[in-house]
C-alpha cells in the first residue's frame, strides 16, 4: 500500500498539470480572438456619465500581442493625445506639454481617457500573464476563473471570463475586488470572422459600483493581417505617428 501512495500522488499531480495546460491553451485561443492579430482600425469611444456624454475618435494599430499604439483624432481639444503599450510598459503623450510620461505596470489598470475601459482592456494580454487559470464548462460556454499571481500588478481579487465553447469567442468579463464584489462588467458583441479568427467589434463596459457609468467602444475600418512598421511601437511614434 505504501508503494501506491507516491504513484497516486504523481498521477494526481500530472492530471492537475494537464488540466492547467488545457485551461491556459483555451484562454490563449479566446485572447487570440479578442486581440485579432495584427490590426489597424478606427476606434469610436463613447463615455456616458449621468450628466454628460463624450465621444472620441482614435486611430489604433496593434500586433495582436503586447504592443499597441492609440492616437486621439477627435474631439479637437483632445487631438494628439497618444498611448503606447509594449509588454507591461505604458507611455502617455500630452501634446500640450509635448512630453511622454512612462507609467509603471500598475498604471495599465487605470481608466483610459477617463472611461470605464482600462489600458489592459484595450490592448495586451495581461489576463494570461498575471493570473492563474481554472477552467470549467457550462453547456455551450467556457468559464475561466482567474486568480492573481503573487506580486501581479492588478487591483482585482478575481476575474471571470465567459466564452463560447465551440468558437472560443469572448462573451463577457467580470472583475471582482479583493472582497469578492463585482466592480466591472465587459460585454463583447458584433462578432465578425476574419483571418481565421472570430473578432468582437463592439465592447460595452459597465461600472458596477456607480449607476449611469457606461462606456462603449466600436471598431471600424478594420484591416487584419497587415504588417505594422516597428516604428509604431517606439516612444517616438507617440508624437508624430508612424503610418
Q: What is the reported pTM? A: 0.85
State the Cα–Cα distance between residues 25 and 19, nearest whole angstrom: 10
Domains defined along the chain, listed by start: 4-240 (2.50.20.10)
What's the whole-number average pLDDT of the chain? 88
pLDDT at 66: 85
Residue 75 preceded by cis peptide, ω within 30: yes
Q: Which of 240, 199, 189, 203 is nearest to 223 (CA)?
A: 199
State the Cα–Cα distance between residues 34 and 232, nearest whole angstrom: 21
Chain segment 102-138, per-residue pLDDT in tens: 988 888 888 889 999 988 888 888 899 899 999 998 8
Chain segment 159-177, per-residue pLDDT in tens: 999 999 999 999 999 999 9
pLDDT at 5: 52
pLDDT at 105: 81
Residue 65 has pLDDT above 90, yes or no: no
Amino acid at each position: 500500500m505504501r508503494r501506491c501512495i507516491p504513484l497516486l500522488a504523481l498521477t494526481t499531480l500530472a492530471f492537475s498539470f494537464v488540466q492547467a495546460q488545457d485551461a491556459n491553451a483555451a484562454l490563449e485561443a479566446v485572447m487570440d480572438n479578442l486581440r485579432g492579430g495584427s490590426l489597424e482600425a478606427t476606434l469610436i469611444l463613447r463615455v456616458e456619465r449621468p450628466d454628460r456624454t463624450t465621444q472620441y475618435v482614435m486611430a489604433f494599430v496593434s500586433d495582436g500581442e503586447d504592443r499597441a499604439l492609440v492616437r486621439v483624432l477627435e474631439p479637437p481639444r483632445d487631438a494628439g493625445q497618444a498611448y503606447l503599450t509594449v509588454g507591461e510598459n505604458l507611455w502617455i503623450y500630452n501634446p500640450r506639454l509635448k512630453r511622454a510620461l512612462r507609467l509603471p505596470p500598475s498604471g495599465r489598470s487605470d481608466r483610459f481617457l477617463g472611461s470605464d475601459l482600462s489600458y489592459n482592456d484595450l490592448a495586451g494580454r495581461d489576463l494570461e500573464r498575471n493570473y492563474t487559470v481554472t477552467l470549467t464548462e457550462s453547456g455551450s460556454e467556457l468559464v475561466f476563473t482567474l486568480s492573481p499571481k503573487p506580486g501581479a500588478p492588478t487591483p482585482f481579487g478575481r476575474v471571470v471570463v465567459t466564452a463560447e465553447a465551440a468558437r472560443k469567442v469572448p462573451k463577457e468579463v467580470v472583475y471582482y475586488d479583493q472582497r469578492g464584489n463585482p466592480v466591472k462588467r465587459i460585454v463583447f458583441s458584433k462578432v465578425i470572422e476574419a483571418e481565421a479568427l472570430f473578432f468582437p467589434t463592439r465592447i460595452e463596459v459597465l461600472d458596477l459600483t456607480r449607476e449611469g457609468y457606461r462606456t462603449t467602444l466600436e471598431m471600424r475600418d478594420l484591416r487584419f493581417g497587415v504588417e505594422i512598421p516597428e516604428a509604431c511601437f517606439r516612444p517616438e511614434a507617440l508624437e508624430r505617428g508612424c503610418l
